Structure 1
């Protein structure tokens, strides 16, 4: 089954220019995790991100998401620097799903309450929830799209869901407001093969349906080859391989394995 891809624009959405992050700065053991990294992301890109452990994949996501400041270089959104913006400020254009199903949701809140909270992503809001009942039909339809019985658990505390249902909820919360940029940080890695494939299929469909721009870290070469219009490989904190379109379609597992042998 071929994966659907988005139509990309020639005007960048996000740019990382000469970005470096340094651990133990100003000491003899100073180490650059990202090392003069350059990456341009265009609207409609669905980029799969590969790299060995320690290559800088999670650090890249942390710099984009504002969890970690870039020590050198700049991060530009539509040409304007967002380097100084906090993680919270960046939620106006960005959403992220983590590998751990326990992250990204409030365990004591119900599924519906989590979805209502996510609907206000990037907006100023108080601590109280309003109008939950009026959204229930909408949330039921959204949850049903995950095809894992989540629609029948809208009043269940999120902490009582299965791992697959909780990760499905995390994904729904991330895409609910159609963010300009979606970061998927190995979001299927903690799931069993059947649940993982189900979530990956739904992910691909939703990205295509809503014309989302997405970066997805994965260790599954099949997923990296099957999904997205573009594939990048990180090594030693840099983008060392960047392929897209027809060239990406010609890639095979064997070719990727050979590339990793060279790292």
Structure 2
């Protein structure tokens, strides 16, 4: 049997430790993520969704438990070291891109993600044809703005650029942190459809936090419901296919 691509074993995270405000956010989380999984994650505010992503990405330390990547213990690795196998797209389109750099320059930066830094000619022209092809897959005119600073793009185009930068080097894990939530409904739907097409075509492994129950049911092969720092529901196969928005809502409000 193949090892999971990422595994959390009894992971517990405490914030404000040693103070009167100390709180346990993740409570002995156990989770196996297999190659090719597209997992949608739902939960009420404070359920631990963002904390889960922060722990997986190395942004937040684990107080107890372990995290394994392809069987290797990565619990103590820094956030920078996690970028060798993981990328993340945030809710805010302003995060994840350099506003003064052009679209092409941002994509070149993403192409060097996780590599050692050296002084060498960037040779941007040699990459432009490929970057234009990539940008065209977003179907929102991004390919016509390779020389445009990211800060001058629309919110939808900038978030599409963030997504492209995240998937450019085919990371083992992609974290989509409500990546369509800040966009208008039409742009959000278009980016969500493109996201799904990309993940399916490239056989990527992704986790997506969403507050849209319809998206949680429509996309992916697996649904997690987080409740008070624990995984209340982990559903795949026929059970997931038969899940309704009403039943999913019931799980969210259950105490």
Matched positions, count: 255
2:107 pairs with 1:115: yes
RMSD over aligned Cα, in angstroms?
A: 1.2
Structure 2 residue aligned with 1:3: none
Structure 2 distance, partners of 1:149, 1:95, is 24
Which whole-Å CA distance do the structure 2 matches of 1:109 and 1:30 have between them? Answer: 40
Q: Cα gap change, 1:129/1:117 in structure 2, threshold over 3 Å: closer, same or farther?
A: farther
Equivalent of 1:125 in 117, 120, 123: 117
Match of 2:78 among 53, 66, 86: 86
Q: CA deviation at 1:127?
A: 6.5
TM-score relative to the length of structure 1: 0.94
Structure 1 residues 2-41: aligned runs within 5 Å: 10-41=2-33
Question: 8 Å contact 2:225–2:251 — kept in the other structure?
Answer: no
Using the size of structure 2 for normalisation, the TM-score is 0.97
Q: Which residue of 25, 31, 34 corresponds with 1:42?
A: 34
In the alignment, which of 208, 222, 226 is matched to residue 218 of structure 2? 226
What is the alpha-carbon distance in structure 2 between the residues aligned to residue 24 and residue 121 of structure 1? 32
Relative distance call for 1:205 and 1:129 in structure 2 (3 A) is farther
Do the aligned partners of 1:17 and 1:75 also contact (CA within 8 Å) in 2? yes
**CA distance in 2: counterparts of 1:214 and 1:142, whole angstroms:** 19
Unaligned runs of 5+ in 2: none
- After TM superposition, the structure 1 stretch with the greater mean CA deviation from structure 2, 127-136 or 114-123, is 127-136
- Alignment of 1:100 with 2:92, yes or no, is yes
**Contact 1:117–1:129 (Cα < 8 Å) also in 2:** no
* Structure 1 unaligned regions, length at least 5: 1-8
2:84 and 2:171 in contact (8 A); partners too: yes
2:202 is the counterpart of 1:210: yes
Question: What are the superposed Cα offsets for residues 124-148 of structure 1, whole Å, 9 maximum, x if unpaired?
Answer: 1236661100111111111011011
Q: CA deviation digits over 1:28-80, x for unaligned, max 9?
A: 44210111111111111100000000000000000000011111111111111
* Matches for 1:172-191 after TM superposition, within 5 Å: 172-191=164-183
Q: Which of 45, 52, 71 in structure 2 is aligned with 1:53?
A: 45
